[in-house]
Amino acid sequence: MADTALITGGAGFVGSHIVRRMLALDWNVVVLDDLSTGRRANLDEVAADIRFVEGDVRCLDDVRGAVEGCDAVLHQAALPSVPRSIADPIASHAVNATGTLNVLVAARDAGVRRVVMASSSSVYGATPGLPKRESMPTLPLSPYAVSKLAAESYCRSWFDLYGVETVALRYFNVFGPRQDPLSAYAAVVPRFIAAYAAGEPPVIFGDGEQSRDFTYVANVVDANVRALESASAAGGVYNIACNERITLNELARELGRQMGSRVVPVHAAPRPGEVRHSLADIGAARADLGYEPRIALAEGLRATVAAGVANVAVSA
């Protein structure tokens, strides 16, 4: 009989990609999502192959009902965005920290073997020096980053105290198809693509010389699958990225080139709580998970542009 995985936030951007990979690997899949940021449409192609539970990670009973009978949890449910967390820190804490605690309590009580949790590179915050290594201190700058660091700490304590195998993956700026460009808190890649597709100038907050280690979603999915199986990963924290840095000005130029747009980006005031530079050392993930970013930035951007332009055409 196939093992069963609960994917929290499975109707969201990253979660819906993980759902498809787990089905392809012949896992039984349960999705828990409250549809606050995820969309049922993200799962339309696989709806008949999964058990969908509409519920909230902030409600322990909802999580208990979804996790019953599961062997593993891929915990993707979160309230993303640094600016959103600054505007509403209580909501970010409730979903990201308390929600993770509920997942861990329910997983422990249900006898789940392993919980893989989506953390964030934002936990490094103001820590100086590049590339970022897991051994570095954490100096989070935003409530979002604080909530993710708290969730990581709960994972570690669950491994130490209760023997629940936990793995926290620090995602670096994930992008790819099905990432929402319309939210007020949309990430930079879908925002830029949507702006160029509409013939409008993309907005760059600050001078645009801030740099990021953008990570195509398929690489993140690979990391999650590997984190489920790696014997040496239990209790660990790992950077998941491409170890490749680009400035936002360079990103805007590359996307404009790929989309054949001559629209010139505009600049707005910098946003508080955001890190100036980000670059991951992925040596630990290579060693313990066998992780290797299969899809480089340029290739991932091409796939995302193709998907984004198709979505614009469909909705027009």
Catalytic residue IDs? 144
Distance CA 260, CA 262 (A): 7
Structure tokens at 187: 């990430």
DSSP-derived secondary structure letter, 269: P
Enumerate the β-bridge partners of residue 305.
Answer: none
Distance CA 102, CA 99 (A): 5
- How long a stretch of residues is the chain? 316
Q: Are 172 and 212 in contact (CB under 8 A)?
A: yes
Tell whether omega for the bond before 131 is within 30 degrees of 0, i.e. cis: yes
Q: From the centroid of its chain, how far is CA 105?
A: 22
Distance CA 22, CA 18 (A): 6
- Work out the angle at residue 289's Cα, subtended by the Cα atoms of residues 299 and 161, and round it to the nearest 5 degrees: 135
Amino acid code (one letter) for 150: A
